[in-house]
A and B are shown apart, each in its own frame.
Chain A
Amino acid sequence: MRFLVTAIVAYLLYLLLTIGSGTLLLWNAAELIIGAIFALVVAALVKNRYLKRSLRMLNPVRWFIWFIYLFPFLFAMAQANVDVAYRVLTGRINPGIVKISPKLKTDMALTILANSITLTPGTLSINVDEETNDLYVHWINVKPEVLKEMPRDYHPICNSFPDWARRIAG
Chain B
Amino acid sequence: MAGMIIAIVLMVAGVFFLTVSALGLLRFPDFYARTHAVGKSETLGSILTLSGLAVYNGLELSTVKILFILGFVLVANPTATHAIARAALRTGLQPWTRKKVEPREKRTEPS
A20 adjacent to chain B (CB < 8 Å): yes
Residues of B within 8 A of A13 (CB): 68
Residues of A within 8 A of B29 (CB): 93
Which residues of A from 96 to 112 have beta carbons under 8 Å from B?
A: 96-99
Q: Count residues on chain A whose CB falls below 8 Å from chain B CBs.
A: 38
Contact indicator A84/B98 (Cβ below 8 Å): no
Q: Which of B20, B36, B78, B101 contacts A96 (CB 8 A)?
A: B101
Contact indicator A118/B40 (Cβ below 8 Å): yes
Contact indicator A124/B36 (Cβ below 8 Å): yes
A114 adjacent to chain B (CB < 8 Å): yes
Which residues of B from 17 to 71 have beta carbons under 8 Å from A?
A: 17, 20-21, 23-24, 27-30, 32-33, 35-37, 39-41, 43-44, 61, 64-65, 68
- A97-B95, A125-B82, A138-B95 in contact; A84/B64 too (CB < 8 A)? no
Which residues of A from 7 to 23 have beta carbons under 8 Å from B?
A: 13, 16-17, 19-20
Contact indicator A81/B40 (Cβ below 8 Å): yes
Main secondary structure of the interface of B (DSSP, over half): helix
Contact indicator B20/A138 (Cβ below 8 Å): no
Size band of the interface chain B makes with A:
35 or more
Using CB atoms, name the residue of chain A closest to B32: A138
Contact indicator B75/A84 (Cβ below 8 Å): no
Residues of B within 8 A of A95 (CB): 30, 32-33, 95-98
- The answer for the CA separation of A118 and B41 in the assembled complex, in Å, is 11
Q: Which of A89, A99, A119, A125 contacts B40 (CB 8 A)?
A: A119
- The answer for the CA separation of A87 and B23 in the assembled complex, in Å, is 11
Q: Tell me which of A48-56, A139-147, A157-165 binds B.
A: A139-147
- The answer for the CA separation of A94 and B99 in the assembled complex, in Å, is 8
Task: Taking A88-B20, A88-B28, A138-B36 as given, write out 16 further A-B residue pairs in contact, using a Cβ cutoff of 8 Å, ordered by the A residue number.
Answer: A13-B68, A77-B40, A78-B44, A85-B17, A87-B28, A87-B36, A95-B33, A96-B97, A96-B107, A115-B78, A124-B32, A124-B85, A125-B82, A126-B86, A127-B89, A138-B35
Residues in A lying within 8 Å of B, measured CB to CB? 13, 16-17, 19-20, 77-78, 80-81, 84-85, 87-89, 91, 93-99, 114-115, 118-119, 122, 124-127, 129, 136, 138, 140, 142, 144, 147
30 cross-chain CB contacts under 8 A = A16-B64, A16-B65, A17-B65, A77-B40, A80-B40, A81-B44, A84-B20, A84-B37, A85-B41, A87-B24, A88-B24, A88-B37, A93-B98, A95-B32, A95-B97, A97-B89, A97-B102, A97-B106, A97-B107, A98-B102, A118-B81, A119-B40, A119-B78, A124-B32, A124-B85, A125-B85, A126-B32, A126-B86, A138-B36, A147-B101
